[in-house]
A = this chain, B = another copy of it.
Amino acid sequence: MKGKDQNTEQVILGAAVEIFQSKGFAGARMQEIADKAGINKALLHYYFRNKQLLFESVFKSALGQLVPEVSKIFNTDLSISEKVTQFVAHYIPFVNQNRYLPVFIIQELNNNPEFSDQFFSNHKLPQTEKFKNQIQEAVEKGEIRKLDPDQFILDLFAVVVFPFVGRPLMKTLLQKDDEGFDDLIQSRIEHVTTMLLNSIKK
């Protein structure tokens, strides 16, 4: 393992991230990745053997960026409203910096069911049990309105992730230009936190 070695591998990976995330597995071209990395196509195969394996590296690192922090937040001893606040405040800026990430993950999981099943049997997603129980207890104690914890977690991810995934559509629907939509994203942390907490009040 030489220094140069590591370096080229990282350069390739960086280029592959960009291409795969913006075009998807099927739409990506090895030639385009090589061009972006400033190296030759043959080198891609030297380092990653084939397109599928290169893709899997990218996919794994994509999901790896999202998973650990969710785990951490969900499994602390914070209150529900603090967890919601932290989750929103952390993920909206993060996804905003990595806009292609959610569409990429979602589209590959949907387009390749076999890969997706196999992937999830080999990689762990965050544990949500603790957070679910916490919500259930709050319901039973009458601290929040009666609701299904699973539904609330769906809502949480929905309002955080969807604006990025549905950006082209919603941008047009709401008649925003890029700047206008970015403004919306900026104000969204506060809006979403308030809206989620309001939605579970009694």
A172 at the interface (CB under 8 A from B): yes
A191 at the interface (CB under 8 A from B): yes
* B-chain residues with CB within 8 Å of residue A176 when the two chains form the complex: 150
0/1 interface trace, chain A 111-134, chain B, CB 8 Å (1 if under): 101001000100001101000000
CB contacts under 8 Å to B, within A156-202, are 157-159, 161-163, 165-170, 172-176, 184, 187-188, 191-192, 195-196, 198-201
* B-chain residues with CB within 8 Å of residue A106 when the two chains form the complex: 103, 106-107, 165-166, 168-169
User: Roughly how many angstroms separate A100 CA and B184 CA in the complex, as a whole number?
Assistant: 28
CB-CB nearest in chain B for A99? B110
CB-CB nearest in chain B for A181? B150
User: Roughly how many angstroms separate A107 CA and B176 CA in the complex, as a whole number?
Assistant: 20
A151 at the interface (CB under 8 A from B): yes
Number of this chain's copies in the assembly equals: 2
Contact B163 A105 (CB under 8 A): no
User: Roughly how many angstroms separate A126 CA and B166 CA in the complex, as a whole number?
Assistant: 15
Q: Which of A23-31, A79-87, A135-143 contacts B (4 or more CB under 8 A)?
A: A23-31
* B-chain residues with CB within 8 Å of residue A100 when the two chains form the complex: 110
User: Roughly how many angstroms separate A22 CA and B116 CA in the complex, as a whole number?
Assistant: 14
Contact B116 A188 (CB under 8 A): no
CB-CB nearest in chain B for A150? B174
User: Roughly how many angstroms separate A120 CA and B142 CA in the complex, as a whole number?
Assistant: 48
A1 at the interface (CB under 8 A from B): no
**Other than the known A26-B26, A150-B174, what 9 A-B pairs have Cβ atoms closer than 8 Å?**
A26-B27, A125-B173, A145-B198, A154-B159, A154-B170, A154-B184, A157-B170, A198-B198, A198-B201
